[in-house]
Amino acid sequence: MGIPHGVLEQVLDGEVLYDEPMSRHTSYRIGGPADVMVCPRSVQGIQAALRIARQYGASVFVLGGGSNLLVRDGGLRGMVLNLYGTLKGIRAEGEEVTAEAGAKVTALVNFCARRGLAGLEPMAGVPGSVGGAVKGNAGAFGATISDHLTSVRVLELTGEERVLTREVLRFAYRQSSLTEGEVLVSATFRLRRHNAAALQRRVAQILEERKARQPVEWRSAGSVFKNPPGDFAGRLIEGAGLKGARVGDAMISPKHGNFFLNLGQATARDVLALIALAQERVRERTGVSLELEVRVVGEP
């Protein structure tokens, strides 16, 4: 059963959108419509939305910045809980910094650098939200976002709130133990004091290194595949002769083989065809089975 129009508006403190194209909310600019998208402005708003979802038996998909995400062309059924840009507060207490799940990773990095709090500079330029980055244990330049994390606040789909420490989150390469049944509300990091000007210079340097290595000027979801042990997915794809390979308006970047680009009008089907091609060619050439890092969701 779907959620009737008007029900959410009575209890929610934010925007409610019906048949909302997911292409407006992903870094790929790809994706069919969500049945209903809610954009709560508070934890209480999230809890109200979750109550309605339970009442009508609707599935819940939590959306952050929409990076590292490919939504199929048929879109998403149930409720999309969009936290990006609404729950975006960041605050510091001494050497501890807490960021709400919808805050941009770049905003968090800049906030810390300006205040002379070191540790998160390698995350400069990582797209998307703090919530998504923590859940997927985003990483760059030999570091991961979990390196300095101490705890997270989550809501169960029942609306119950819990605090989970780093030790119970079982972080690993590009993953954590956070489940679809846990809505991450905020994350807390313990950092160290350092010269603010030096940190800001380091952030700028990392951004320049990203620009040199990665096709940041194009629409993409970031790295498509996880790096296999002892190697790099991009190197294997390039070795298979696939730089510049194209299906429809989706193309494997000529600059970096692990970035698949939307040249303008690409569909999820186009990107998935390129993914299958890369996996097949690399497996035939090297015997390595590339594992997806990008998350694929939705209906065909």
Q: Does residue 261 contact residue 223 with C-beta atoms inside 8 Å? A: no
In this prediction, residue 283 carries a pLDDT of 98
Quick: pLDDT tens for 132-182. Answer: 999 999 999 999 999 999 999 999 988 899 999 999 999 999 999 999 889
Q: Where in the chain is the domain with CATH 3.30.43.10?
A: 7-82
Q: Does residue 248 contact residue 226 with C-beta atoms inside 8 Å? A: no
Give the fold, CATH level 3, of 215-297.
Answer: 3.90.78
| Section 31-57 average pLDDT | 95
Provide the token pair at 116. Answer: 């002379």
pLDDT at residue 65 is higher than 70: yes
- Catalytic residue flag (residue 177): no
Q: Does residue 166 contact residue 149 with C-beta atoms inside 8 Å? A: yes
- pTM value is 0.92
* From 41, 51, 174, 202, active-site residue: 174
* From 20, 100, 238, 293, active-site residue: 293
Q: Does residue 27 contact residue 220 with C-beta atoms inside 8 Å? A: yes
Alpha helices by DSSP H, 95-213: 105-114, 130-135, 196-213
- Catalytic residue flag (residue 223): yes
Sign of CA dihedral 66, 69, 74, 78: negative
Neighbours of 266 (CB within 10 A): 22
Res. 1 pLDDT band, cuts 50 70 90:
low
* From 182, 223, 238, 253, active-site residue: 223
Distances (CA, A) of 87 to 39, 45, 78, 235: 9, 10, 21, 38
Residue range 90-198, CATH number: 3.30.465.10
Please identify, in words, the CATH class of the domain defined by 7-82.
alpha beta
Q: Where in the chain is the domain with CATH 3.90.78.10?
A: 215-297
Distance CA 64, CA 44 (A): 18
Quick: pLDDT tens for 188-215. Answer: 999 999 999 999 999 999 999 999 999 9
DSSP state of 121: G
Provide the token pair at 72. Answer: 């199929």
DSSP state of 58: -
Question: 77 forms bridges with which residues in the sheet?
Answer: none
Q: Where in the chain is the domain with CATH 3.30.465.10?
A: 90-198
Of the candidates 122, 129, 19, which has an alpha carbon nearest to the alpha carbon of residue 68? 129
Q: Does residue 206 contact residue 125 with C-beta atoms inside 8 Å? A: yes
